[in-house]
Amino acid sequence: MQHRSRRRFLTVAGGVTAAACVTFMVPAARAQMVRTPLNNMPEVIRSLVGTATLNIGKVKLDIPPLVENGHLVPLTVRVDSPMTEANHVKSIHVFTERNPLPEMATFRLGPRAGRAQVTTRVRLADTQNVVAIAQMSDGSYWSDTAFLIVTLAACLEELPA
């Protein structure tokens, strides 16, 4: 009686484990097929920031968390700054992890902008992180990262012949 129940337990447990493996392995395998290798975003960010520290905060990257169409994704970057002569945002840089190139856009602004906010529309090749970095007039760097899921990827399709 005891053996039978142990055997049943093992059968069920084995089945569950096998099922879990299948469920987890299939998406992983598909992701491997679709995803291009990571670009060199960390190195590009490092060369921008140099020896300065990349702080987290002040920047707000506004981008939809779930994107149906990667060809046209609205993206807004806001930076918490008074935008005065003494204290303003000098530049805003946007980077992606999995597009063929890490750079998306660079915006150069100054105290005459009045408000540190820029909106544009971008292409995204894959489910990934997008990073916005702002350089302040005092030389400090601040950043925000957003993770988003892309269902229809841009950049990978071919033109009709």
Partner 1 sequence: MANVRIDVPKTAKRGDIIDIKTLAAHGMETGFRRTHLGVPIPRDIITTFVCSYNGIEVFRAELYPSISANPFIQFSTVATESGMLEFKWSGDNGFTATETARIDVT
For partner 1, the binding residues (CB under 8 A) are: 71-73, 96, 99-101, 103-110, 112-115, 117-124, 155, 157-161
Q: 51 has which bridge partners?
A: none
Minimum CB separation of residue 91 from partner 1 in Å reads 9
Give the integer Cα–Cα distance in Å for 60 and 160.
39
Tokens 């190195």 belong to which residue?
Answer: 43
Shorter beta-carbon distance to partner 1: residue 92 or 136: 92
- Closer residue to partner 1 in complex, CB, 72/152: 72
Q: Which is nearer to partner 1, 83 or 136 (CB)?
A: 83
Shortest distance in whole angstroms from residue 106 CB to partner 1: 4
Q: What kind and span of H or E run contains 3?
A: helix 2-34
**Which of 70, 64, 79, 66 is CA-nearest to residue 143?**
79
Query: Is 22 or 161 the residue whose CB approaches partner 1 more closely?
Result: 161
Rounded to a whole number of angstroms, the minimum distance from the CB of residue 62 to partner 1 is 12
Q: CA 96, CA 105: separation in Å to the nearest integer?
A: 10
